[in-house]
Structure 1
Amino acid sequence: MNKIALSDEALSIHRKINGTDAAFPAESLKELFEAAVDRRPEAVAVVHQGRTITYRELNGLANALSLRLGSAGVIAGNVVGLSVSRSPGLLVAMLAIIKTGATYLPFDRTWPDERLGGTFGMADCTVLLTDAPDTLTERFRHLRVVPVDLPALNADEKNPPLRVDPDSLAYIVFTSGSTGSPKGVPIRHRGIVRLVSDPTFVSLGPDAVIPQLASVFFDAAAFEIWGALLNGGTCVLYPSDHIRLSELKRLVEQNGATALFVTTALFNVIVDESPGSLDSVQTILTGGEAHSLGHIERARKHYGDGKVVSVYGPTECSVFATYYPVRGSVQGDTALPIGLPIQNTSLYIVSNGALCAAGELGEVCLGGPGLSPGYLGRDELTREKYVEYDIDGEKTVLYHTGDRGFALRDGNIVFQGRLDDQVKVNGFRIELGEITHFMNEVPYVKQSYVTTAEKESGEKVVVAFVVPADADCTPRACRDHLATKVPRYMLPGEIHVLDGFPLTGSGKVNRKKLLALRDQEQAPRP
């Protein structure tokens, strides 16, 4: 165990930061959802394209599908791949997996076969639950594929008697990894329950109406879905794959949405083009990457103080870890704080084995029941990132986020960038090293350098620069190769072919000069 050095000043500010303990149910998603069904069986649980489904109907359908999973050999502790379009079938499928005591593994079936096959292997996943059974059966003949067919299910099926341990795994999310292999992050039931039970950052209860906008393999979807269903509220499924502001406005107003989460990039578009789309919402949660202070200030002036809440949290900490309600002008500030820890979450700023006092820069480390137990099959990385400490006589495990920050005098934390080359683009966590790894595998690429740049809108874009090995090296050829290796969200938005890279005096690639070359020309699209 590691003992953290601390001064009186450092201990004082961290005590101010970490008074977050609160009671929350010691039950699983299964038990809490079934309790919500018992309380409000005829209340609307799901809305999708004008169709409403009650808690009683949703529960019965999930029970029936869980029986089919059982017939396919799924038992408690198994991992079930989940690929269902945003529809009532998605929620039925998630609940069905949970009701067997299994863990759901959301995936995008457009990902390359090699990546998906590796993901299933790392997670020991042998059963897929999907609304596209023919496609997946053809691609993965060694796996058992179970179709989601709601009309064939009995909506009156009773709850399975199984009780699920709150410390068991609810779902697994795979994030980008620097070595070319994605990292599997398992999340416990307890972590999600702690997130949505009487939260400090938003009001959740039976009157909550939450639009479901995020892709299910993006962890914000866990907040949207379970935040509604465990509290007896309503989950409103966005009807399209891509967000259109006119459609979002209509969905919010027609359904009386009380709170929603939007990525930083989408938030900026809303503020620029149609802030009135969200006038009727009580709380706008936004995060995923660093905020533009200009957009935050314009939003505050439009919506008023306190309606916009910035949220921050790595996948390893069960979605959100901190929150910052914007209650005053941010003009003249250098960065928007990521705020204070949410309920049942602890945060420490650590540098060189010591707690930092207010104003001292260090690494943001997180603790509490929201922590993942570690990375699938990556024991060495888990030991590196999840470290047990003795802090003022108390034992605690902290997750080293790799994010830098410092505490203000009032305890709010200010984000100050990364310790490595991990970035967030459109809410997705990307290791630039993983893209570089696969780019360097292209036979006609001699050298590559991958970084990010900002668009005029303030959004980040992944930019790749390559030195060709032969004439076959074109932006299109590079992109086509990458498309067989990584998901679409990891594909560079720009690929530039150069004769060579400018270097710094120490012999490293000169990123500043590369980006200046990019800016001198209209960025070519691959």
Structure 2
Amino acid sequence: MSALERPTGIRLTGTEAALSVHRRINRTALAYPRDSAVPALFAAVVARRPDAPAVVQGDRTYTYRELDRLSNGLARRLLRRGYTPGATVGICLARSPELIVALLAVLKCGGAYLPFDAGWPEERLRGLFADADCRWVIRSEASAVRPDGCQVVLVNGELDPCQDAHDDAPAVDVPADAIAYINFTSGSTGRPKGVPIRHRSIARLVCGARFARLDAHSRLLHLAPVTFDAATFEIWGALLNGGTCVLYPDALVRLSRLGQVVEEHGVTVVFLTTALFNAVIDEAPDALAQAETVLMGGELQSMPHVAAALRAYGPGRLVHVYGPTEATTFATYHPVDQLIPDSGLLPIGRPIQNTRLYVIDGDALCEPGRTGEIHLAGDGLSPGYLGMPELTAERFVERVVDGVDERLYRTGDHGTLLPDGSLVFQGRADDQVKINGFRIELGEIAHHLDRHPAVRRSHVAVATTHTGKALVAFVVSDDPHATPAELRRHLRDRLPAYMVPTRIHLCEALPLTATGKVDGRALLAAYDSSTPPPARWAAQPVASRD
């Protein structure tokens, strides 16, 4: 990515109370290998612990030496095929040791990996590959996806440490500021945003972590889809610290199986999205009984569920985490050792190591008790959005904070600092939401709904159900033959399953507020009402996310 021009920094003002609290919470500097890329960090672990288990899935175990040799072999295979260091490689493999080998191989070649799902609509995949300039794909034989113009490298079955390996890594110099991977997040214009992440940002996340113990004795559960940035923590948190990455064996999470995996493999650290955490606490709290640390986040937390978990597990084990993809997975953490009495508040905490956080209203730092927009700084920040210079300039800004030049990411989230410096999330100013850990722009869903010829107007909202949050769409159509099922098929052809509304209601009109905006509350009230909806209102279930 070419260097992005940065605007002259605006100097932020602030009362002494505002400056004091921000100085206190931002004392996060910690020595870490910021000039080392992932391949060098991994090689150092291999040298220290060659025979230690690196990756485990079921009865399959690969040591650090075996994982190193297998990834060397695949990296050399890529280079023999004509791969040029620095190019993006699409990765379409199931959660498996082969997936980890492929990620390492791409990084050892000096490339960036782009995880994607073969089930995503073809139109979306074409856009992602174009934005990322991706011309290589590593996939299994089982996946038939082959984007136009891409060279495909197949990884079939179990890799053999004797036949598919090589002792020496490719002689490719990989700098710490090179791009390691690209994640795509939802975009309000209908175009997903490509977020590139540097090697240095991964090291900043997992080296010297304050929010969980990450060392040679750690065993991290890799549960998240690799397309979700939580996988960055699950995989590299283990492999760059000499621990073990335990791969959940199935595509779909079953709570009974989750408990078996945690117990059988001695998992010490687990990250769960809020919805999955709530389901575990409701139905199978013993599944996490053996874990040392349970990280949870991605949406507003249910206080009854957190209270139940605290009763079940006791203090010192629950950690509430927060962070956008643009800041490399986690930006803040809050150990949940007790709840604030009668407040209903669960802070998202303080910045993690080598991360800084500012709450800003206009051009002023907020003192405790005043709400503002959450801004993040530090080595975790992405260099910007792929092919979107205007949006990059809008969201990644230069400011002078307390006499220091800072590059900040404007999260769009609002928060309030408590007197002790802990941050409380207060919602968003736009229509971006998180459901099951996935960040979703409601406008992107509406954009694709409105492109259907039968749709005159649409509105997408989030409903709260007994199981968590769910996407709901309301559509005004002039076509008497339009059906929710047809509209859902239209969306499934263009969006990932997690962005397809659970229900689509056909309405005669969309109610408006006094200011002329769609009255989403009124629509949701009708949806939640015990009164049966009009005959044209119908619902279809959405496929569960793995």
TM-score by length of 1: 0.97
| Structure 2 SS opposite 1:235 | strand
d(CA) in 2 for partners of 1:160 and 1:68? Answer: 10
Query: Which stretch has the larger CA shift, 469-478 or 430-439?
Result: 469-478
d(CA) in 2 for partners of 1:376 and 1:270? Answer: 37
| Structure 1 SS opposite 2:182 | strand
| Residue matched to 1:190 | 200
Deviations 1:58-78 (A, max 9, x none): 111100000111122222211
d(CA) in 1 for partners of 2:141 and 2:395? Answer: 37
Q: How far is 1:468 from its partner?
A: 1.3
| Residue matched to 2:13 | 5
Deviations 1:463-507 (A, max 9, x none): 000011212211001001111111111000110011111222233
Q: How far is 1:153 from its partner?
A: 4.6
| Residue matched to 1:253 | 263
Q: Which of 80, 90, 99 is 1:71 aligned to?
A: 80
Q: Is the 8 A contact 1:297 1:330 kept in 2?
A: no
Q: Is the 8 A contact 1:133 1:146 kept in 2?
A: no
Q: How far is 1:243 from its partner?
A: 0.9
d(CA) in 2 for partners of 1:508 and 1:39? Answer: 61
Q: How far is 1:331 from its partner?
A: 4.6
Q: Which of 16, 29, 32 is 2:24 aligned to?
A: 16
d(CA) in 2 for partners of 1:525 and 1:56? Answer: 49
Q: Which of 395, 417, 421 is 1:407 aligned to?
A: 417
| Residue matched to 1:51 | 60
1:306 and 2:316 matched: yes
1:129 and 2:138 matched: yes
Query: Which stretch has the larger CA shift, 56-65 or 498-507?
Result: 498-507
| Structure 2 SS opposite 1:261 | strand
d(CA) in 1 for partners of 2:175 and 2:350? Answer: 29
| Residue matched to 1:384 | 394
| Residue matched to 1:362 | 372
d(CA) in 2 for partners of 1:30 and 1:153? Answer: 22
Q: Is the 8 A contact 1:93 1:129 kept in 2?
A: yes
d(CA) in 1 for partners of 2:49 and 2:184? Answer: 35
Query: Which stretch has the larger CA shift, 157-166 or 50-59?
Result: 157-166
What is the 5 A alignment of 1:491-506?
Answer: 491-506=500-515
The alignment yields a C-alpha RMSD, in angstroms, of 1.3
d(CA) in 1 for partners of 2:181 and 2:133? Answer: 13
| Residue matched to 1:147 | 154
Q: Is the 8 A contact 1:224 1:235 kept in 2?
A: yes
Q: How far is 1:330 from its partner?
A: 4.1
What is the 5 A alignment of 1:215-294?
Answer: 215-294=225-304
Deviations 1:247-268 (A, max 9, x none): 1111111111111101100100
Q: Is the 8 A contact 2:10 2:398 kept in 1?
A: yes
Q: Is the 8 A contact 1:136 1:145 kept in 2?
A: no
| Structure 1 SS opposite 2:511 | coil
| Residue matched to 1:212 | 222
Q: How far is 1:27 from its partner?
A: 0.4
Q: How far is 1:335 from its partner?
A: 2.4
| Runs (5+) with no aligned partner, structure 1 | none
Letter aligned with residue 55 of structure 1: Y
| Structure 2 SS opposite 1:81 | strand
Deviations 1:48-89 (A, max 9, x none): 121111111111110000011112222221110011101110
Q: Is the 8 A contact 2:75 2:108 kept in 1?
A: yes
Q: Is the 8 A contact 2:74 2:165 kept in 1?
A: no
1:60 and 2:75 matched: no
Aligned residues: 523
Query: Which stretch has the larger CA shift, 508-517 or 316-325?
Result: 508-517
Task: Classify 1:125/1:508 alpha carbon distance in 2 versus 1 (closer, same or farther; 3 Å).
Answer: same
Deviations 1:115-135 (A, max 9, x none): 001100000000001113761
Q: Is the 8 A contact 1:112 1:484 kept in 2?
A: yes
Deviations 1:295-346 (A, max 9, x none): 1111111111121100000000010000000111345223210000000000
| Residue matched to 1:396 | 406
Q: Is the 8 A contact 1:297 1:331 kept in 2?
A: no
Q: How far is 1:274 from its partner?
A: 1.3
Query: Which stretch has the larger CA shift, 119-128 or 496-505?
Result: 496-505
Q: Which of 506, 518, 522 is 1:513 aligned to?
A: 522
| Residue matched to 1:98 | 107
Q: Is the 8 A contact 1:79 1:105 kept in 2?
A: yes
Deviations 1:153-175 (A, max 9, x none): 53243122222100000100000
Q: Which of 89, 96, 100 is 1:87 aligned to?
A: 96
| Residue matched to 2:4 | none
